[in-house]
Amino acid sequence: MTGSLGKSLKIILEPAPEVCEIHGPFRVFQRNNRSVTDLLDGLLPDPDQVIAGGEVFKEGSRNHSVRVELAGLPYFLKRYNCRGWGYRLGNLLRQSRAVRTWRVHLEFLRRGIPIQDPLLCLEERKFRLLGRSYLLTGFVEGASSLMELWPTLTVEEKPSLLRCLAEQLGHMHRFAALHGDLKWYNILIRCEAATWQPKLVDLDGSRVLRRVSARKAREDIGRFLRDLEAHESDPRLKTLFEEIWRERAGLE
């Protein structure tokens, strides 16, 4: 497969201005939106206290993810852990993973790619040495991962959902964005008024390039297809998905 994607494509949305402020030891990144002020007040001065009271989704040496409530509403809060002096020194002259992921969220948002709404990013620095960092996004209430949802779908619902996903993922690749880990657990699905509403999550490995080759797009979608092959016995559904995805992505 040859060709490239993302040539001369107009960005769907105007870029959301990024505002950076200093609050104690934290550099706070946010979109130019006053509605996040209450959320920031709820996180500071110590976001770890908020995390301690949250519902744990993932806890590991690299990061810790929880569902939290701020101002009476649910949000998803992810902490990127400080892993010692090697980590501090290695990030001395570069932005943290949290900030990189924050900016990828903004670029995905500009391109109309369905993601959780990015709200705040906090980066702790002392004498430029990186400590903890945090990313706050919206929380998708009532959604299930594609992995959990798939076995419950009817034979009519499966092709309908795959068409929707093929269009959305093809759109992402057409706009020169790569997710990096399209396993089914990273695709959340909610259905409202007989309409599928997918959201892509876990953008830590995602990238936005000037253009994406067909080879890279195929590699990116390959993770999705492996789960499809593992959990669906009807090969016609894979064919359906690939045809729509290729057309939407603009593959030559």
Q: Is residue 187 part of a domain?
A: yes
Domain that holds residue 226: 142-249
DSSP label of 48: H
Domain C-terminal end among 109, 138, 167 = 138
Domain C-terminal end among 138, 159, 182 = 138
CATH number of the CATH domain containing 207 = 1.10.510.10
Full pLDDT tens readout for the chain, 252 residues: 334 444 445 555 555 567 888 888 998 999 866 678 889 999 999 999 999 999 998 877 788 999 999 988 999 999 998 776 666 676 776 788 899 999 999 999 999 999 999 999 999 888 888 888 999 999 988 999 999 999 999 999 999 999 999 999 999 999 999 999 999 999 999 998 889 999 999 999 999 999 999 999 999 999 999 999 999 999 999 999 999 999 999 986
Q: Is residue 15 part of a domain?
A: no
Q: Exposed, middle or buried: residue 236 (CB in 10 Å: 0-12, 13-18, 19+)?
A: exposed
* Count of the separate structural domains present in the chain: 2
Query: Which residues, other chains included, contact 145 with Cβ-Cβ below 8 Å and sequence gap of 6+?
Result: 184, 185, 186, 187, 188, 189
Instruction: Note whether 152 and 104 are same-domain residues.
Output: no
Query: Which residues, other chains included, contact 194 with Cβ-Cβ below 8 Å and sequence gap of 6+?
Result: none
CATH number of the CATH domain containing 113 = 3.30.200.20
Q: Is residue 13 part of a domain?
A: no
Instruction: Note whether 57 and 85 are same-domain residues.
Output: yes
Instruction: Note whether 122 and 225 are same-domain residues.
Output: no
In this predicted structure, what is the pLDDT of residue 130?
80
Instruction: Note whether 76 and 163 are same-domain residues.
Output: no
pLDDT in tens, 176-192: 999 999 999 999 999 98
Q: Is residue 106 part of a domain?
A: yes
